[in-house]
Structure 1
Amino acid sequence: MSSFDVGLIGMGALFVLLAFRIPVAFAMFVVGFLGIWNLHSLNAAMNYLASESFTIASSAELVVVPLFILMGNVATETGMSRRLYDAAYAMIGSIRGGLASATIIGCGGFAALSGSSVASALTMGKVSLGEMERFNYDHRLSTGAVAAGGTLGILIPPSTGFVIYAILTQESIGRLFLAGVLPGLLLLFMFVLTVTVQCWLKPEMGPAGPRTTAGEKARAMVGALPILTVILLTIGGIYTGIFSPTEASAVGAGLIIIIGLVSRKLTLSAFWAAAKSSVVTTATVMFILIGAHMLIPFLALSHIPQEVGAFLEGLNVHSLVILALILACYLVLGCFLEGFAMLVLTMPIFFPVIQQLGFDPIWFGVLVVLTLEMGLISPPVGVNVFIVKSVAQHVPLGTIFRGVIPFWLAMIATLILLVAFPQISLLLPNTMIN
């Protein structure tokens, strides 16, 4: 049996394990370990296990994961995240669809604190769904806006998706963070435009909310100012070269904690809850990365990446067609696999092809993360859809999935724009001060 055949058997076994709901980290670990043992030796597999686990666990770059997660969790526990929604609510809530648009803007702001799509959808769902229910919003629009808005958490920096992509491809976390800013804002605009168009076509979907006075608007903006300042400092510090991404995560987490203490919103129990949640999430990410670094050597030994690259190059088509095929694979896989699992499974196969075609890896990273976002609202997995369902239990699951369709189409339009105009992604990282 050839090494390529062993590789195919291994990948098949991996998908079988995932189908039986085995956690992706353990599935990759088992397949990678047994694959290296089969193609090389038991000693090699044991050596990879020891060295890769230590290398990942001691990586200074990964400090950004627990610190940014802690920053978002503290903001959630202290209620700071609601201030972002309140500010958007005060400014645009009185127009048709304004509450849904405010929810999306709030999701974008919270994404810049937490880097988590699930946390964004859950937090903003609890904050906004009841309010939209009170003003008789169509359930398709209200739940769709929350589910889609939550996906911004994986694109707008700090993004755990970008961190994992950077570790797997040896790219700069700072450049990837900056590359996600303009695409993230573009996607946010496209979501707000989607809400506006739906309410223009069917005004009853998003009735106007309450009017607010100039004083109420001012107070809401002042309440959100500390959070907005932290966001601008962390992203601006990376862009100007004042902070590295690791330092920015420490500054952001420290400032959020200080704001919580000064405002007397951060109690010992709230900090304990935020810290415990951060540890659990960080451990999950670390296990996934360790599992991925066991699988990657197995794939290299099986020559699957080289065979896939040779096949794609042998198609004798334009490089953009190959890129479209790769992105289409991500869209299909997103219907069945969780985003991070999809990233660590496919990157060792597709990234060498992207390098051979001469595409910018930072730009490709943005495209991949955007397609991962689409998987968060794609049936049958659609993690964000199920998160929204847990908050709005009286809304049928089918209604929520129908509600996300217009936003899914908006993501397709954004993906096309980013492919057609790579400078949208590359402007900030190419002008950052080193």
Structure 2
Amino acid sequence: MSASAIGLTGIVALLILLMLRIPVAFAMFLVGFLGIWQLNGWNAAMSLLSSETFTLASNPELVVVPLFILMGNVASHTGMSRQLYDAAYAAIGQVRGGLASATVIGCGGFAALSGSSVASALTMGKVSLAQMDRFNYNPRLSTGCVAAGGTLGILIPPSTGFVIYAILTEQSIGRLFLAGVLPGILLLTAFVTTITLICWLRPEYGPGGPSTTFAEKTQAMVRALPILLTIMLTIGGIYAGFFSPVEASGVGAGIAILYGVVTRRLDLKTFWNACQDSIVTTATVMLILIAAHLVNPFLALSHIPSAVGDFLNAMDLGVTGTLLVILAIYLVLGCFLEGFAMLVLTLPIFFPVILDLGIDPIWFGVLAVLTLEMGLISPPVGINVFIVKSVAPNVDLGEIFRGVLPFWTAMVVTLILLVAFPQISLFLPDTMIN
């Protein structure tokens, strides 16, 4: 059997394992190890397994993963995310669709702390769905905005998706974080606009909530200051060049812990639970990254990436056409694969093509992560939809999928804008980091 045939067999086997719900890391470990064994021998496979595990695990840049995750978990346990939602609700909750817009804004703020789409959807779902149900919001709108708003967690920095992309492609985590700021704000604006249009066409979908006084608005804003200051110090510190992303993760986690201690909302038991959650999530991410560093050399040995590059070049679609084909493939794969699995599976194949075409890898990273987000609310996998379903068991799964459709369309429009205007993604990293 030729190297290319072994490579294709490995890819098919990996897809089958993922469809059978085998954990992503274990599926990639198995395929990568066996593939290298077949192509380069047992000793090479064993050597690569030991060396890559140690090299990756000792990479100091990966410290951002557990610290940012810890920051998000502590913020969730101490109620910082609820305070941001309350502030947004006090400001715009009285208008049509205001509660849904406040939920999306709350998801955006929590995303900037946790970097996790699943955590954003789960946390904000618990906080907001009961409120929207109390004010007779249509379940299609309420569940749809939570599922879609949760996807902001992987685009608005600090983003675990950007960290994984940076490690796999050897790009700057700081540049990727900055590149995600304006697209994240653009997508957040698109979601709020979508809610406004829905409630303009169907006023009964999002009736206005009770009015709040100026004093109540002020009090809610004051209570939200801790989370806003944490976001400003971590992301703003990177933007201003005061510290690196690794240092920013330590600062953010420290501020969240200090806030919990000062307000007496973080006792030893709560802190221990936050640490346990952070360890589990970090271990999952690390296993995926280590497994990806086995799959990558396997695919390189099989010559699959170069074959795909030759095929795309032979199609003579040009730079934009080839980019659109790759993004279209991502959209299709997103309907079946978990987001991180899609990144680690496709980047070794597509990234060399991107470099050969002269496409900016930071810009492509934003496009890839946004397309990955779309998979989080696309049937049949749509993990965020299932997360919301777990929080709202009385809402039919089909209703939730229909509810996310307008937001999915908003994401397509945002993706088109980012493809047409690369400056949206590249302005901050090009002006702030040389």
TM-score bracket for the superposition, by shorter chain length: over 0.9
Give the C-alpha shift of residue 260 in structure 1.
0.6
Contact 1:145 1:404 in 2 (8 A): yes
| Structure 1 residues 167-206: aligned runs within 5 Å | 167-206=167-206
Aligned residues: 434
The equivalent residue for 1:22 is 22
CA distance in 2: counterparts of 1:295 and 1:318, whole angstroms:
29
The equivalent residue for 1:372 is 372
CA distance in 1: counterparts of 2:360 and 2:153, whole angstroms:
23
Compared with structure 1, are the counterparts of its residues 413 and 271 closer, same or farther at alpha carbon in structure 2 (3 Å cutoff)?
Answer: same
- Structure 1: stretches of 5+ with no match in the other structure: none
CA distance in 2: counterparts of 1:14 and 1:130, whole angstroms:
40
Give the C-alpha shift of residue 433 in structure 1.
4.5
Deviations 1:139-188 (A, max 9, x none): 11000000000000000000000000000000000000000000000000
Aligned partner letter, 2:320: L
2:430 matches 1:426: no
CA distance in 2: counterparts of 1:402 and 1:192, whole angstroms:
17
Deviations 1:355-404 (A, max 9, x none): 01110000000000001100000001000000100111100000000000
2:216 matches 1:216: yes
Contact 1:106 1:124 in 2 (8 A): yes
The equivalent residue for 2:87 is 87
CA distance in 2: counterparts of 1:141 and 1:16, whole angstroms:
34
Deviations 1:228-281 (A, max 9, x none): 001001111111111100000000000110011001111111101100000000
Q: Secondary structure at the match of 1:359?
A: coil
Q: Secondary structure at the match of 1:314?
A: helix
CA distance in 2: counterparts of 1:86 and 1:377, whole angstroms:
25
CA distance in 2: counterparts of 1:409 and 1:109, whole angstroms:
22
CA distance in 2: counterparts of 1:19 and 1:141, whole angstroms:
30
Contact 1:103 1:145 in 2 (8 A): yes
Identity of aligned residues (%): 74
- Structure 2: stretches of 5+ with no match in the other structure: none
The equivalent residue for 1:152 is 152
The TM-score with structure 1 as length reference comes to 0.99
| Structure 1 residues 101-250: aligned runs within 5 Å | 101-250=101-250
Aligned partner letter, 1:187: L
Give the C-alpha shift of residue 432 in structure 1.
1.1
Contact 2:175 2:433 in 1 (8 A): no
CA distance in 1: counterparts of 2:424 and 2:254, whole angstroms:
31
CA distance in 1: counterparts of 2:346 and 2:364, whole angstroms:
13
The equivalent residue for 2:58 is 58
The equivalent residue for 2:287 is 287
Q: Secondary structure at the match of 2:94?
A: coil
CA distance in 1: counterparts of 2:364 and 2:279, whole angstroms:
30
The equivalent residue for 1:270 is 270
The equivalent residue for 1:305 is 305
Q: Secondary structure at the match of 2:315?
A: coil
Give the C-alpha shift of residue 14 in structure 1.
1.0
CA distance in 2: counterparts of 1:80 and 1:225, whole angstroms:
9
Contact 1:121 1:387 in 2 (8 A): yes
Give the C-alpha shift of residue 56 in structure 1.
1.1
